[in-house]
Structure formats: C-alpha cells, structure tokens
Amino acid sequence: MIPKILLLAVLAIFIAYLYQKWQANEDIYSDEIDKSIISAWNASIKLPSRRFSRISVGVNSNVDLIVSGIQLLKSLKVLPGNQQNHNILTTVEDFEETFGFFFSKGMAAERAFTVPDVYNSIIDVADGLPEKEYYIGGNAALMAEKVVSLHPDAKVQYVGPVGPKLRELMPPSISIPELSNIPRDEVHLIMEYSVGDTWGNLQAPVANRFISSFDESNSKMTMLESFFMSLESFRPDLIIMSGLHLLEGQTKEFFNEKIKTLKDRLHAVPKYIPVHLELASMSSGSFLEAILDQVLPAISSLGLNEQELSFASHSKGGPHSEEYLARGQPEVHKIVDMMLWLLKTYGQTKQRVNSKLTRVHFHSLTYHIVGVVSDFWQNNEAALSAGTRIAGRQACDVESLNPEEVDLKIPMQFKLFSGAAERKFNQNDPIISWDLEGFHFVFSPVLICKNPLKTVGLGDSISATGLMYSEFVPRQ
Ligand SMILES: *[C@@H]1O[C@H](CO)[C@@H](O)[C@H](O)[C@H]1NC(C)=O
C-alpha cells in the first residue's frame, strides 16, 4: 500500500502544476487584453487639425540633486545623535536628527530648511561628492520639457527660477528669458539609501529617500509677475502653469495677496488663449478653497489627481466628501460625480458665463478621465489616450509599451456615474465617451508599469501630453 503521505505529496505537486498552468494562461490572457488596449490607443491617437504652436510655461522649477545619503553624511563628518523629527530644519543637528529618525524607520520624508546658510553648505558638500546626479525638477519645468519633446516644432518659453545648473539641464530649444535667472539654483537634495545601509549604529530596514530643500523663489512664487510680463512679447496660444501648492508655507496674508495678483493677471489674458493649471498635493483646506473660488473661474483647464479632487470636494461640500480619507483606487463613478460637480460649480455654464473653466483632466494610477464643457475642446479621445499611453511608457522608461511589462488594474465592471447602470469593461473598446448634463467625458484605463523606473513628474507628463493632443475651440 502506498503511504498516505506520499499520495498527499503527489497530489500537492499536481495541484501546484495545475495552478502554474492556470497562472501562465492568465498571464497570456491578460497580455492579450493589454495588447488590445494598446491597439485601441494607437488607433485613437491622432493630432488635432489645429495644434498649439506657441506655449508659455511657468512658474516652478528647481534642480533635483540625488546622492547617497550615507556618503553625504560621512563627507559632512556627521554621526547619528538623537533620532528626532523636526518639521522644519534650521541647523545641521536638526537635519542629522530628522534624517536619523526616518532612516532608522525606512520612511520617506520631505523637510524644508528655513535658513539658507546651513542648507547651502550641505549642498556644497553634496555637490563635491564623486557620485551624484542632477535632474530637472519642478512641475512647470518638467511640463515644458515634455511639451518640446512631444512637439519639437513648437516654440516653448519657460519662465521660473532658473539658476546656472538648471539652464544647463533644460533642453536648448526652450527659450528662457533672462528675467528667469537666479544666481544660485534652488536645489532639492534627495538622499537615497538602500535596505541594510548602516550609519553609525543605525540601519535602514528598507530602501527609501529623504528630501530636503530651501526654496526662496518657488515658495514665494517670485516669478509670477515676470511670467505674465513675458506673455506680451511672446504671444502664446497656450499657457501652462503650476506651482501654487508651494505657497502653502507662507502666511495667509502673503498667500491671499499672491492669489489676488494671479487672479487679476489671469483675467487680463484674452479668452481665446487657454490657460491650464496643474494642481499638486496640498494639505491646507483654506488655501485650496481660495484657489478653487478665485483661480478656477479664471483658467480654462485644470489637471489633478484623486487626492486633490476629493480634497476639493471635501473642502467645498461636494459629493463623496469622505472620499479624501479613502485608501486605494477611487471608484470611477465617484470620480465622475466629483468632476461633474467641479464643472457645474466652477465651469462655464449658462449661470456662470464669465467663468473660463471648460476642461478638467483627472489622472490616477489606474485610469484617467477628461471632462469638458461640450464643444469647447476637440480631439478629447485622442488626447486622453495619449495621456494614458504616456503614463505607462514613461514609468517603464520605454519608447513603446510591451504587454508583458504592464498590468491593467481597473475593476472589470463599474458604473460611469451615480445612477448609471453597471457596465462590463470591453477590452476591444476600452476608451469610453459619454455626454452628461452638457458636458462630454472620456475614460481610459492606464496600463501600469510592473517595475517602474521613472515616476517623478508622471502627472505633469500626462497633463502636458493631453494638452498637446487637444484642440481649443473658443466660442465667439
Ligand atoms: C502601437 O504603436 C507603436 C508605435 O507608436 C508600435 O510600436 C506598437 O507596436 C503598436 N502596438 C500595437 C499593439 O498596435
């Protein structure tokens, strides 16, 4: 008689074999779905009949300096002391203690220096390290870079704080007027560490990064007036702005003053020149409210993600106001409800003829949606497809997507908005368009890169790409 244990072992091996076969089949099946989505994008993406040709971008930029955290601390001859978090950094000791605090936990963190001298001396040491990398940083500079890469024939002007290093890094085809010059770059120091790295008696449990900065121009938006001044001679047909979120560290008076200036300058921009604003993560509800109430009616197009959208809805009493606390991927119908609310509340409607807002471009990890006031924007399907396709391409850092390197993570059944019927996702028709209460919406899933290499500035790339494939048709 065969021992029971042997029988069980054989059975276990057989089940494992079946499972593996099923898994392989699943992979082939999901690769097929990915491929049909890529084909659908390819078929849908076409340039609009009238493309933007003069694009003005501003106003936040910096240089990202990436170094090994431990190498830098060794060069600074700093050893770990107390591990203690400081919300703002003023001394080398604050810096050392805060780094130690997050390093020993393996937690990502970002802290600002309030005084330049200490920070600059740290940067000088980091700059002297044999191994370091410099990159373009800041949403606006990244969007300018994306726009010229997509559309090399276009004239692109960038205005924002540009020091000597950033000028070197920016593509030479971008025109940067002299009024952008600052004597010393605003550097964001990114200290990377790997799992198991040791510093004194501390050891990193996981790989992560600690970011510190001292921003004068960005945090005070000093280039705002210069930006609007430069528009007169440049005569853009599209304006792209970002950097408002960086004002959060300022006093309420300072912030309100800047917002008022921005609002006045935006209202002076002729209606036939669309202005896109890219939002970024904010933590102050009252600052966000001021941006919504005062800036939104003065811009044509808004780019944002689920955190910003749900925080806006929460701050202003919109639908699904508890969604901003939710973890995980947001449900499609909730996002559409909130976009519809945003367009109805701030967009150009019969009740609000003076508002300029006619487009909202939403991007999350797993899907994107664009909502426009019908007829103001054309080529929306192509624009949204181009934005979703670039998300996977840039994250994987490839020219063309390979189905094996990406994953689809949307539910296979969902509603397009509250009150709509559930629908099955159709891989052969993945880009969905519909009209709702005078607005036109387009949905497309994202193919998420399994092993992402480049995630910095992904939202900026998505929004810039969507704009370059869009056509603005102002009403007379
Ligand atoms: C999509 O287009 C790219 C070129 O942009 C091409 O390399 C790729 O093979 C196409 N993929 C599919 C599935 O049609």
**Between 27 and 357, whose confidence is greater?**
357
Q: Are residues 181 and 56 in the same domain?
A: yes
Answer for the pair 372, 359: CB distance below 8 angstroms, yes or no: yes
Q: Are residues 39 and 55 in the same domain?
A: no
In a domain, 241, yes or no: no
Q: Are residues 266 and 194 in the same domain?
A: no
Tell me the CB-side half-sphere exposure of residue 72, using CA atoms within 13 A.
27
In a domain, 244, yes or no: no
In a domain, 231, yes or no: no
In a domain, 270, yes or no: yes
Question: Which residues' Cβ are closer than 6 Å to ligand 1?
Answer: 35, 38-39, 42, 400
Provide the greatest CA pair distance for the chain.
94
Task: Residue 204: name the closest of 214, 196, 212, 216 by CA.
Answer: 196
Is 333 exposed, middle or buried (CB count within 10 Å of its CB: 0-12, 13-18, 19+)? middle
Q: Convert the pLDDT of each residue in 132-151 to its tens digit.
A: 999 999 999 999 999 999 99
Residue 438 pLDDT > 90, yes or no? yes
Q: Are residues 39 and 64 in the same domain?
A: no
In a domain, 399, yes or no: yes
CA of 38 to the centre of ligand 1 (A): 7
Distances (CA, A) of 39 to 5, 180, 252, 427: 51, 42, 50, 10
CA of 399 to the centre of ligand 1 (A): 10
Q: Are residues 264 and 159 in the same domain?
A: no
460: annotated active-site residue: yes
Six-digit token pair at 2?
A: 């065969």
Give the count of domains, the chain. Answer: 2
Compute the distance between CA of residue 276 and CA of residue 264 in angstroms, rounded to an integer.
16
Average confidence (pLDDT) over 306-316: 95
Compute the distance between CA of residue 78 and CA of residue 322 in angstroms, rounded to an integer.
44
Q: Convert the pLDDT of each residue in 161-208 to its tens digit.
A: 999 999 999 999 999 999 999 999 999 999 999 999 999 999 999 999
In a domain, 38, yes or no: yes
Per DSSP, the three-state class of 262 is: helix
Give the other-Cβ count within 10 Å of 410's Cβ: 18
Tell me the CB-side half-sphere exposure of residue 38, using CA atoms within 13 A.
22
User: Going by CA atoms, what residue is nearest to atom 7 of ligand 1?
Assistant: 400
CA of 64 to the centre of ligand 1 (A): 33
Strands 155-158 and 174-175: parallel
Residue 30 pLDDT > 90, yes or no? no
Compute the distance between CA of residue 81 and CA of residue 358 in angstroms, rounded to an integer.
54
Per-residue confidence (pLDDT) for residue 474, from 0 to 100: 83
Compute the distance between CA of residue 217 and CA of residue 60 in angstroms, rounded to an integer.
8
Average confidence (pLDDT) over 199-223: 94
User: Going by CA atoms, what residue is nearest to atom 3 of ligand 1?
Assistant: 400
Distances (CA, A) of 456 to 138, 255, 326, 348: 10, 27, 23, 33
CATH of the domain at 115: 3.30.1110.20
pLDDT confidence tier of residue 420, bands split at 50, 70 and 90: very high
Q: Which ligand 1 atom lies nearest to the CA of residue 35? A: 13
Six-digit token pair at 461?
A: 């790339």
Residue 262 pLDDT > 90, yes or no? yes
Q: 34, 42, 398, 406: which to mutate for ligand 1, most atoms within 8 A of CB?
A: 42
Average confidence (pLDDT) over 411-427: 96
Q: Are residues 258 and 156 in the same domain?
A: no
In a domain, 236, yes or no: no
Q: End of a domain among 157, 192, 226? A: 226
User: Going by CA atoms, what residue is nearest to atom 6 of ligand 1?
Assistant: 400
Answer for the pair 342, 312: CB distance below 8 angstroms, yes or no: yes
pLDDT confidence tier of residue 7, bands split at 50, 70 and 90: confident
Q: Are residues 327 and 420 in the same domain?
A: yes
Answer for the pair 425, 37: CB distance below 8 angstroms, yes or no: no
Q: Which ligand 1 atom lies nearest to the CA of residue 38? A: 13
User: Going by CA atoms, what residue is nearest to atom 8 of ligand 1?
Assistant: 400
Compute the distance between CA of residue 158 and CA of residue 433 in angstroms, rounded to an integer.
34
Residue-averaged pLDDT of the chain: 94
Q: Which residues pair with 240 in a beta bridge?
A: 57, 276
CA of 249 to the centre of ligand 1 (A): 45
CATH of the domain at 283: 3.40.1190.20
Q: Are residues 63 and 7 in the same domain?
A: no
Q: Are residues 78 and 199 in the same domain?
A: yes
DSSP assignment of 148-161:
HHH-TTSEEEE-S-
Q: Convert the pLDDT of each residue in 67-85 to its tens digit.
A: 999 999 999 999 999 999 9
- What are the φ/ψ torsions at residue 17 (nearest 5 degrees)? -65, -45
CA of 351 to the centre of ligand 1 (A): 45
List the domain range (segments joined by +) for residue 262. Answer: 1-44+250-476
Q: Are residues 177 and 30 in the same domain?
A: no
Six-digit token pair at 286?
A: 């009252």
Q: 38, 45, 388, 401: which to mutate for ligand 1, most atoms within 8 A of CB?
A: 38
pLDDT confidence tier of residue 53, bands split at 50, 70 and 90: very high
Average confidence (pLDDT) over 330-355: 96
User: Going by CA atoms, what residue is nearest to atom 9 of ligand 1?
Assistant: 400
Q: Are residues 299 and 317 in the same domain?
A: yes
pLDDT confidence tier of residue 3, bands split at 50, 70 and 90: confident
Residue 23 pLDDT > 70, yes or no? no
In a domain, 243, yes or no: no
DSSP category for residue 459: H
Q: Which residues of 147-164 are buried (b: 16+ CB within 10 A; e: fewer)?
A: bbebbeebbbbbbbbbbe
